Amino acid sequence: MKVLVDTCVWSLAFRRTGVKEESEPVVRELQELIHDSRVQMIGPIRQEVLSGIRTQAQFEVLRDHLRAFPDLEITFADYELAAAMFNKLRSKGIQGSNTDYLLCALSQQYHMPIYTVDADFLLFKKHLPIKLHQPRTVRAHHPVE
């Protein structure tokens, strides 16, 4: 089964200063997902990961690495569902980004879990029919377990 990988996971993996000890299990899991050809990319995540890269050379290297992961086609129905989710949770006082809710919509529509370390998704999951990817190596400090 494919897994939608959130920007925060990619950011940990591509951190310029190297992987910090607490991030190692997250990055190892991403590596396993890549090895198993289970990573699903979407355009908005690709844009977020590539935004803010300091040099053109770094941008091109990262862009070329990410090109190994084709984008899932996103339809107008997916965007409409994401907006409905945004509105539903906003009415409950829960905030999230447009990309977060798009991941939630795609998770629901395509029955794909989301791999994230963003604890907001635990809150979203209480109100939305989404799936979160459970890493193979469960660590107590990991917020999405």
Convert the pLDDT of each residue in 84-125 to its tens digit: 999 999 999 999 999 999 999 999 999 999 999 999 999 999
Does residue 143 carry a pLDDT above 70?
A: no
Rounded distance between C-alpha atoms, residue 72 and residue 95, angstroms: 25
Supply the DSSP string of 21-64, one letter for each residue: GGGHHHHHHHHHHHHTT-EEB-HHHHHHHHTT-SSHHHHHHHHH
The pair of three-digit structure tokens given for residue 45, joined into one six-digit string: 């995540």
Rounded distance between C-alpha atoms, residue 120 and residue 116, angstroms: 9
Determine the average pLDDT of the residues in 18-42. Answer: 89
Place of tokens 């990055």: 27
Place of tokens 């996103």: 74
Mean pLDDT (the chain, rounded):
91
The pair of three-digit structure tokens given for residue 71, joined into one six-digit string: 């984008």
Rounded distance between C-alpha atoms, residue 41 and residue 49, angstroms: 11
Percent of the chain with pLDDT over 70: 90
- Alpha carbon 74 to chain centroid, angstroms: 15
* pLDDT (0 to 100) of residue 140: 42
Does pTM surpass 0.95? Answer: no
Q: How far separated are the first and last CA of the chain, in Å rounded?
A: 19
Rounded distance between C-alpha atoms, residue 100 and residue 9, angstroms: 13
